Each structure stands twice: as structure tokens, then as C-alpha cells.
């Protein structure tokens, strides 16, 4: 029996990596926008990291701007942040957005 794929894999397989998406998430990291989006959604770093299939320390480095996400995970992180930002005022529980099996549409 095979072990289940990390949550990010489901979302990332359907995602096409576009250079503009990578550029946007890297700009958001460099500008310090990613942490405030997570905080406004009242989510812990561990929850975001787990949903993306990355370590807590990786997410901490992204939020500090000392490292940048790349590849499929960068696209998944961008989608997640956009969904959290869009839902900030209309979502009573943003934790449900962490279900990355949903395509967000």
C-alpha cells in the first residue's frame, strides 16, 4: 500500500507553473506581504506549512524573506495566499481554505 501524497501534490499537479506566478510570490515575499496575510487569517505557520507539504522552518524563512519558495510549492503558496486574502472579510473560518484538494473555484 502506498502512502498518501502530500496535500500540495494534488493542487500542484493541476497547476501550471507560470513565470509571472513565480515572480508574484517572490515579490510578495520580498515585500513582506505573506506573513500579514496569514496572521489576518488567524492561521499558524504550522498549519500553512503542513498544507503545502513543507517544513515549519521553510515557511518561517519565506515569511522573513531570507529564502524564496520555488516551483510547484511557490505556485501553491501563491494560490493559497490569494484565497486567504480574498476571503479575509467574507470567511468566518479561513482554516477551511487550507483544504488544497479544492481548486478554489
Dist CA 33 CA 6 (whole Å): 25
More confident call, 37 vs 87: 37
Q: Is residue 105 helix, strand or coil?
A: coil
Average pLDDT over residues 73-84: 92
In this predicted structure, the answer to whether residue 75 has a pLDDT above a threshold of 60 is: yes
pLDDT tens digits along 15-72:
578 899 999 999 999 999 999 999 998 899 999 999 999 999 999 999 999 999 999 9
Structural domains in the chain, CATH included, are 7-88 (1.10.260)
More confident call, 86 vs 51: 51
More confident call, 35 vs 104: 35
Torsion of CA 35, 38, 43, 47, to 10 degrees: -80
pLDDT value at residue 85: 86
CB distance 67 to 58 below 8 Å: yes
Dist CA 104 CA 87 (whole Å): 11
Sign of CA dihedral 32, 82, 74, 45: positive
pLDDT value at residue 104: 43
Sign of CA dihedral 20, 25, 28, 30: negative
Amino acid at each position: 500500500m502506498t502512502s498518501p501524497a502530500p496535500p500540495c501534490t494534488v493542487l500542484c499537479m493541476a497547476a501550471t507553473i507560470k513565470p509571472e506566478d513565480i515572480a508574484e510570490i517572490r515579490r510578495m515575499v520580498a515585500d513582506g506581504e505573506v506573513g500579514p496575510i496569514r496572521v489576518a487569517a488567524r492561521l499558524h505557520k504550522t498549519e500553512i506549512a503542513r498544507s503545502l507539504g513543507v517544513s515549519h522552518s521553510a515557511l518561517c524563512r519565506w515569511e522573513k524573506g531570507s529564502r524564496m519558495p520555488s516551483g510547484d510549492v511557490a505556485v501553491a503558496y501563491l494560490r493559497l495566499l490569494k484565497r486567504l486574502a480574498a476571503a479575509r472579510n467574507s470567511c468566518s473560518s479561513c482554516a477551511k481554505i487550507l483544504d488544497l484538494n479544492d481548486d478554489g473555484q
